[in-house]
Structure 1
Amino acid sequence: MKILPYKNLFIGITETLHNVFFENKYADRELEKMLKSNRKWGSKDRAFIAETVYDTVRWKRMIEASMGKEVAPDNLWEFVGTWFVLEDEKLPFWDEFKKISAKDVLKRNHAATDGNFAIRESMPQWMYDLGLKELGKNQWHQEVETMNLPAPTVIRTNTLKTDRKALQKNLKDQGFLTEVLSKYPDALEMADKANIFKTDAFQAGLFEVQDAGSQLIAPYLNVQPGMRVIDACAGAGGKTLHLAAMMQNKGQIYALDIHEWKLQELKKRAKRAGAQNIQTKVIDSTKVIKKMEGTADRVLIDAPCSGLGVLSRNPDSKWKLTPEFIEDIKKIQAEILDSYSKMVKNGGALVYATCSILPSENQNQVQAFLANHPEFKLVREKQLFPSQTGYDGFYMAYLEKN
């Protein structure tokens, strides 16, 4: 993107980056707060700030190598300036950029990235080594390169209120062009980045923003209207709402989560979507699961995970994750599978899903579970790789209870 030489925009960028890197805040939320508090910025200003924040977060390690030092609170302007030098942009003549030598930046960049994939593709060394070990060089390199591309915006048609063709026309009439994704029955991909949350169509509950890969998980449960379904790690309910639409508001969906605030958000979304067969329940003790043992036709376990399939959407995760977190989350996944699977009734089924591409969080977890639970059998499983689909990475396994 062409550099916009307005100092207030760079102040917005560096303040946002400070909160992401040094206050451990999430990039999308910080960006949203920054843009909300500066309503006078035009669409070009906002696009410039958003793109610069995401680019510099995504390419952090490579920029640091080109700076010759790690990013710190007192060198954020140099960090941002270095990125624009690498992008072959001419920096404004401001004091904050005076120390930057374009020649030195390019020289350091060449020396650091030549033959070093992890630096060139801006990946923490431990994460690079982990992916290499689990997926092998060719597969891992393809995934890393794909996930360094900005994520497209995909929406899911809410079939409780409209169909994809009518939604596409509705959005076109409002000036938003979309493309039909043939392999994803309810999906439309936005042609351009735009604030679609202000559209009449969104306010009326005609669609939800949901990645194309994520839209394949609810159908994987093979639900039917009238079933009793449990979404055991529902969060704010993206997949819960999809299940409600597939069940045509018939039957009962129990949306469970350990965080009450997420379920409150789900209630708001359900009201907007016209989803009327959802009941929320906070998992505040083991009794909640115990009371529901053997009652569900289907259970979705969209397990907490590393998120290593969605780095294009959440590039700041690269710098927030730790090896210790991934080891801990794998233990939690095993515990959740063991505990929540008890809610499936005889003859029912569960789907275990993650937004990771690591076998240790996916296939290995399922195999370990099956070894301890002979009453279940694996019917099918699917691994979606970003390099193959162009969208987020997901895993899903369909297990039947005999």
Structure 2
Amino acid sequence: MGRSLVVEADGGSRGNPGVAGYGALVRDAESGEVLARRAAPLGKASNNVAEYSGLIAGLAAAVQIDPAARIEVRMDSKLVIEQMAGRWKIKHEDMKRLALQAQEIVRALKVAGGSVDWGWIPRDKNKDADALSNDGMDGRTIMQNLWETTGSDAFDADDAGAGESADEGVAGRAAAPDPADAPGAAADAEAAVPPPPSKAPTRILLVRHGVTDFTVEGRLDGRGGPNPDLNEQGRAQAKAVAAGIRAKVGDRQVRFVASDLSRAQDTIRHAAEAAGVELHIDPDWDEQNFGSWDGELVRDLVQHQDFRRLRDDETYAAPGGGETHAELVERVREALLRTIESSPDGGVAVVATHRKPIMVVLADILGLDLAHAWLLAVAPGSFTGIEVWTDGHGSISFVNDTNHLRIPPQQ
């Protein structure tokens, strides 16, 4: 039976849409003790987007405390509560995206044996979360893990800066490099707390490549295939990515790494050039090889039973020289280890890669099997922030951050 927790969340916008921020906290349900506090600015956004962002941050913090927790969510937004409970429809695209992220956290929680109850409360009963959301609107980023006695936050308040992601992820135990590691290890609350590290972790910003024509058309585009370039939208995303990297990295030393595929390299080339550093190419960060299916429309392939095997069976390879998921995992783990070993002490590694390699890294940290790893959303041009130690332990500070893509880059 998981720990009983209460998530209180809120968000606000001064102008609706206007200067926005979110706030959330997690309490022990029995004692009322505050275990975690979260707040961050969102730039220009609506009240509803800010409220959903607070919910995501609160859920993520609760799952970080206990991946199998019994959670009661309390918010003064009746809209968010009713939509998440499934009683009201979601029409706005930004809210659909954020609701999906919240639902993915809930699904992973339920798989681990946890639960979530949704409850509306009056505004005067939600003052603590409201105060934190005002901190976010004032430009403050707060990531306090008050229950921890070891380890460190992945991106603390000094690291985050204005514009830190609302799409915080879940911290947990990374699967050790041995592929025989038990996939359900992250569900163990004791295993979720890593031992004291022998050296500082490596901070890694994973960037999914920008949009190509294949992305728009819904075609498979793995390694060994047509290797499409960024289209006009993707090139605009690359400029926004460069600005977003500058905001997150600041003055730290940074190493830029990209897969061997052109769309990944072109997504962070602007950022590397602006930093005056070399862009290193590592083919092990490439997308999975889909064999003869490369370039095919996914909507045509989903009808085939073999294609479904590719999603569910880690030992299955697409016809025509495709790569199994297990083979992909092995090379991505090697790429991650090289990235850790070659990154500057106290600096950041920025890695431009693809959906499935990012999925592999997150699934390793969370201990997810292949079927549940597919629930992780990683949009084109998005950021995912992690910290990883050389012994394989890691934590996730945010997933699928696309805030920078909503702000036009400075010319």
TM-score (norm 1): 0.30
Q: Which has the higher helix share?
A: 1
Q: Which has the larger radius of gyration?
A: 1
Structure whose residues are more often strand by fraction: 2
Relative contact order higher in (CA < 8 Å, ≥ 6 apart): 2
